[in-house]
Every structure is written in C-alpha cells, then in structure tokens.
Amino acid sequence: MKRNRMFSLVGTVAVMACSAFAQQGGQPELPPGMTMEQMEACVLAATPGEMHEFLAEGTGVWKGQCTMWMTPSAEAMQSECTTTITPMMDGRFVKCETEGEMPGMGAFNGFGLYGFDNVSKSFQGTWIDSSGTGMMMGTGELNSEGDTITWTFKYNCPMTNKPAIFREVERRTGEDTMTLTMYGPAPDTGKEYKVMEIKYTRTSKTASADAGR
C-alpha cells in the first residue's frame, strides 16, 4: 500500500508539471527519474484538443422535454428538466447538472462529469443522481459524422442486485438543439428497451467557465 501511494504521489507531481508546461509553454524542470520523452507524453495527455472542444460546445443552459417509460409496455410519462453544462479545468472536462421532476417520485437532481481521455482515445463519463446512491461509469464513442456520442455505462441494478448496462445516445440535432435517448434493461426480461428520451433546446450559451476549478 505504501508503494502504491508513492507511485500515486509521483504521478500527481508529473501531471502537475505537465499541466504547467501545457499552459505556460517553455522547458519544464524534469521530476527526478523522468525522461524528456515521458514528460512529452504527459504533456500530450494533459493538453485539451478537438474532442474537448466538442464537449465544450454544449456549454450553456438547456430546457428539456422528457418522455419516460417505466416498462416496455407502460404508458409514456411526461416531465420537464433543466440542464446546465459548464466547462471545467481549462476545458479538460465539462460538468452537467440537471434538475427536474421524476413522474410520481418528486424532485430529481443529477450530476455528470465528462471528458475525453487523450491516452485511451475515448470519451469518459460518470453520473450520480438523487434516485440512487451508486455511480454510473462508462465510455463514449463519437460517430463518423461528428454529431452523436453513444455512451455505455455500467451500474448496479437495485431490482436485480446485479451489474447492468445503461446506454445513452446523445445526438446534436442543431446548434441549439439535441436529443438524449436512454436505454436500459426491462425489469422482467432484462432485454434492452427505450427508457427515456429528452429533447433539449438551449436557452442560454452562458455558463461560468471558472466553475469547478
């Protein structure tokens, strides 16, 4: 355990040095035992790029019209939500805060953190909300047209007490419109079905760029 902590500390110092180098430019002082090639790799990993800009394009306040199905055969339930997307850590990540009403269950609050990992070349995300105490964690892939991210999240289902998959398709339909479609396992069969669809319209492109720093 002590050895792992030491590795973690060294990694943290290296990332801090990389971040400073990426932001300020110039020749950094190498941490003990680190080569220039390793430093350059860390700098590349820490530098926001095109995919981070893609996420940041969603910055602002979005009003959502929600349609939800509790089971594949259930009648659709309607509600509204407000989602605020804010860039964090100089554009490396975005946070997503959602407030709304869960039909029949009262007020709903959710929080997501999303980014693009330059090392694995994949989008990464995590989600928590007031309807549970677990965290959903997953990865996303952008389509070739550059307008849709398909997310695959893993979580623990409270009804089956087993791990489950939750899939989300985030599609940009216009400069200020997007649709989020969610798919999960049916309670009785476990087969995937459409759980919720949210049609978003952006009402403001203003969100604090300093939030979360």
Range(s) of the domain holding residue 137: 53-204
Amino acid 6: pLDDT: 37
pLDDT in tens, 191-202: 999 999 999 999
Amino acid 104: pLDDT: 74
CA distances from 47 to 16, 23, 89, 212 (A): 12, 8, 11, 18
Both 166 and 113 in one domain: the answer is: yes
Both 32 and 123 in one domain: the answer is: no
61 domain-assigned: yes
pLDDT in tens, 21-75: 555 555 667 778 889 899 899 999 999 999 999 999 999 999 999 999 999 999 9
| Mean pLDDT estimate for the chain | 87
Both 114 and 157 in one domain: the answer is: yes
Both 136 and 185 in one domain: the answer is: yes
**pLDDT-derived band at 170, boundaries 50, 70, 90:** very high
71 domain-assigned: yes
Q: Determine the average pLDDT of the residues in 165-189.
A: 96
Both 81 and 20 in one domain: the answer is: no
Under 8 Å between Cβ of 200 and 62: yes
Both 43 and 57 in one domain: the answer is: no
Both 63 and 36 in one domain: the answer is: no
Amino acid 94: pLDDT: 98
Report the CATH number at residue 139: 2.40.128.20
Choose one of 32, 47, 62: the last residue of a domain: 47
10 domain-assigned: yes
Amino acid 17: pLDDT: 55
Amino acid 203: pLDDT: 97
Under 8 Å between Cβ of 139 and 150: no
